Structure 1
Amino acid sequence: MAFYLYALLPESARPWLGGETITGLDGAPVHLQHLAPFLVAYSEAKQNRYLASRANLLGHEKVLETLMQRLEPHGVVPLPLQFGLVVEDWESPRQEFVEERQDILLAALARLAGKREVGVKILWNREEELQRLLAANTPLRQQRDDLMGKILTVEEAIAIGQALEAALEERQQEIIDRFLAVLRPLSHEVVTGELLTETMLYNGAFLIDLEKEPIFAEAVEQLDAEFDRQYRIRYNNYTAPYNFVNFAETA
């Protein structure tokens, strides 16, 4: 039998994980394996390898969210394991989690206790933003207008292109700096993620105290209003703390 692993928990969490059975991938029930001082949330693996399909990813996340919901009232946060982790027995997890990384993982559980990861993504329309910049920046607008209708040399085309791009980059940083000036003081840690699309201006994860989430959400709302709702803000207030648990770094 093979096992699909979801998360690592402190062994003290067992009393809070009773109740209705949690359903994992392939409809298999989720169980807890005791690897002192940890519990591993797992289900029986029906496949040797799990493709990162939408259904599988959502199923994995649903298990993590259910664990978080049951543990959150007790200030416990599960350490999420990477998607697709299948083991044939418990010896390799015991060696990795208990024998090799026990102290580091216990410290991670303690660091995350009573906290939650939330995500803020800011999206913009670069062309619309450029038009706003030109309307507010007379010298830049004049430089652009002076070249309109002309056959540009390579140097002129490069120069105006660089000037416009620099103005956009400066504006992007201004927006990011303003958001961080407000949100960073409400957070314990901040991780800046990769920009996933051309329309994404900022992608950040914030580790906050559980009880401060409404305050953080209100701060995001106020920032949206401050910028006249010119940007699309995606705020995820409930996600497993992947950005603050890096198992690769604990090897």
Structure 2
Amino acid sequence: MSIPLYLYGIFPNTIPETLDLEGLDKQPVHSQVVDEFCFLYSEARQEKYLASRRNLLTHEKVLEQTMHAGFRVLLPLRFGLVVKDWETIMSQLINPHKDQLNQLFQKLAGKREVSIKIFWDAKAELQTMMESHQDLKQQRDNMEGKKLSMEEVIQIGQLIESNLLARKQAVIEVFSQELNPFAQEIVVSDPMTEEMIYNAAFLIPWESESEFSERVEVIDQKFGDRLRIRYNNFTAPYTFAQLDS
């Protein structure tokens, strides 16, 4: 009976065993060439893996250590992928998607994924916005303590929301103007929290990262304490390695 396999990612080149990687359940990570693709895997000790912080970080660490070792072009596989044998990979992944896999490798060659997440203090922004729009502030203050119709409540709410949205878009526009020219592709995702106003991934040339990072730093200084910027400059390219369904 074959031992189930936990998969981490796919590479176009063979990964040497000398990298000495440790995967989930502290199992050694191996490489296996299937057709023309090299898979990183370890023996699966569980049928299903809990998406705990420790497990997720271990999965990421295997890929990042491999990238640090010089194997930068990869297609990361989603966390928790366990297969029973290599024939399953051949029939369910390689045979139906071989051309797409090769196209993704071509797209990612010489490129890296970096990501930007922008946060602000929504209450502080609202207060600042009100102070800079005295007419709107006066209109809101005049309504305090009064019994308002639904139409009046909706109207003032829409005015406040539209002004906040304009402030948000002005911030995003600065980032877009400065950073978009670096990118071959950009994927903007939905914010993950109420405080997050921008969540974007950029596919940029490897050699451009230092300049990209400097631009991020300049923007950060420009906005000061108004924003918190989370910049990830080294990650497996999950956003740009998606197979068409």
State whether TM-score is above 0.5.
yes
Q: Which whole-Å deviations, capped at 9, do the CAs of 1:52-75 have from their partners, x for residues lacking one?
A: 111111110111111111125xxx
2:171 is paired with a residue whose SS is helix
Pair 1:186 & 2:182 matched: yes
Q: How many residues align?
A: 243
Aligned-partner residue type, residue 156 of structure 2: I
Per the alignment, residue 175 of structure 1 pairs with 171
Per the alignment, residue 5 of structure 1 pairs with 7
Q: Which whole-Å deviations, capped at 9, do the CAs of 1:28-74 have from their partners, x for residues lacking one?
A: 111111112110110000111111111111110111111111125xx
Aligned-partner residue type, residue 43 of structure 1: S
Per the alignment, residue 121 of structure 2 pairs with 125
8 Å contact kept, 1:9–1:79: yes
For structure 1, the 5+ residue unaligned runs are none
**Scaled by the length of structure 2, what TM-score is found?**
0.94
Q: What is the CA-CA distance between 1:20 and the residue it aligns to?
A: 3.5
Q: Which whole-Å deviations, capped at 9, do the CAs of 1:147-188 have from their partners, x for residues lacking one?
A: 234333333222211211111112111211221111100111
Distance 1:137 1:17 in 2: 62
8 Å contact kept, 1:17–1:70: no
Give the root-mean-square deviation of aligned CA atoms: 1.5
For structure 2, the 5+ residue unaligned runs are none
Give runs of aligned pairs for residues 8-157 of structure 1, distance below 5 A: 8-10=10-12, 13-14=13-14, 17-72=16-71, 76-157=72-153
Distance 1:189 1:229 in 2: 29
8 Å contact kept, 1:97–1:105: no
2:224 is paired with a residue whose SS is coil
Task: Give % identity.
Answer: 46
Q: Which whole-Å deviations, capped at 9, do the CAs of 1:2-41 have from their partners, x for residues lacking one?
A: 100000111xx22x64534100000111111111211011
Distance 1:199 1:17 in 2: 44
Q: What is the CA-CA distance between 1:78 and the residue it aligns to?
A: 1.0
**Scaled by the length of structure 1, what TM-score is found?**
0.92
2:28 is paired with a residue whose SS is coil
